[in-house]
Every structure is written in C-alpha cells, then in structure tokens.
Amino acid sequence: MSDAAATPIASPPGPPLVGVVMGSDSDWPTMRLAAEALASMGIAFEAKVVSAHRTPEAMVAYANEAEGRGLEVIIAGAGGAAHLPGMIASMTVLPVLGVPVQSKALSGLDSLLSIVQMPGGVPVGTLAIGAAGAKNAGLLAVRILGASRPELRERLHAYRQSEADRVRAQELT
C-alpha cells in the first residue's frame, strides 16, 4: 500500500451513520474513496475489515448489530469471490451497497458477478468495479440518507452544481 493509500481518513464527528466494510486491508485503496465521499459530505462513518471467509463470526456480529448501533447504510467492498456484501445483506434490513473491488486474476469481473447476482428477496445495490464504484457508493449512501434529511440534499445540490461548473470550465488545448 502506498503512503497516501495508507493514510487514514478522519470521520466527521458524531455516531457513525454509514459502515464501510471490506474483505481485506488490500481493498482500502479502493474503498477509501467511499470514505472520502462520505467525509466530504459531512457524514460520520466507520471503516473496518470484516471478511465472510476469514472472520465469519465477526461478519455475523457486525451485520446483526449494525442496525442497533445506529448505522443506516452499509457499504461493503470485496474482491474475487466477493460474498461479503450478500452475506451482510442476508442478516440485516439496512440498505447494503456492494462495491466490486478489482481483482488481479479477472480484473474485477469475478467480484462484480459475485455481488450483483443476488437471489430475489435479498437486495444488494451493486456499484461499478473499482474506484468509481467506491466513490459512487459513498455518494449513493448520502442520497439514501438525504431522503429524510433536507440539509444533506442541500449539500448534494451544491455538489452537483460544483461538478457542472467544473466541467463547463474545461478547456481543451
């Protein structure tokens, strides 16, 4: 992991509303983009490594306790045989957003298919492979929280406007 990728991202103060979990610390350079999006919108979050394969008991406890601890959205990222988002979704009624982390062997197609093909009745909102997916998972979590929080919708409107201004100002040389 590079120094920049290893730098922790401070959560805004307050009890976490969003849990960002991932199967390995090797997923953090990708998943930190979800955390950055949340931090930029002032959303308190927690980030943890929890693996369905390597720490199944911890994953079960995390999923079972998330709602009672006040989390409102879970973002779960994993690569390869990416069972973590679906397993968490099977044990909670909180919205779960799945981020397919890019794998070395199959470039993340394995991760995507593992996350997206959930059986009916157990939804996982699946994002794109890799960095864009992680960033969008953070922003989608803010949109979910914003449905009942007008002040968050204001921040999202301001973000949309600033992105539009940035693109309009682009000049090709």
Ligand X SMILES: Nc1c(C(=O)O)ncn1[C@@H]1O[C@H](COP(=O)(O)O)[C@@H](O)[C@H]1O
Query: In this chain, which stretch among 24-32, 61-69, 124-132, 145-153 interacts with ligand X, using CB under 6 A?
Result: 24-32
Give the nearer residue to ligand X in terms of CB position, either 85 or 146: 85
Q: Which stretch binds ligand X (CB under 6 A): 3-11, 20-28, 38-46, 120-128?
A: 20-28
- Is 54 assigned to a binding site? yes
Distance CA 24, CA 27 (A): 6
Task: Report 59-98 residues binding ligand X (CB under 6 A).
Answer: 78-84
Tokens in use for 9?
A: 């991202």
The DSSP code sequence of 84-117 is HHHHHHTT-SS-EEEEEEPPTTTTTHHHHHHHH-
Q: Is 27 annotated as a binding residue?
A: yes
Is the CB of residue 82 less than 8 Å from the CB of residue 118? no
Min dist. Cβ of residue 173 to ligand X (A)? 39
**Binding residues among 115-154 for ligand X as defined by CB under 6 A:** none
H-helix or E-strand containing 71? none
The single-letter code of the amino acid at 80 is: G
Nearest distance from C-beta of residue 80 to ligand X, angstroms: 5
Answer yes or no: is 51 a known binding residue.
Answer: no
Beta bridge partners of 100: 78
Residues that bind ligand X (CB under 6 A): 22-24, 26-27, 51-54, 78-84, 101
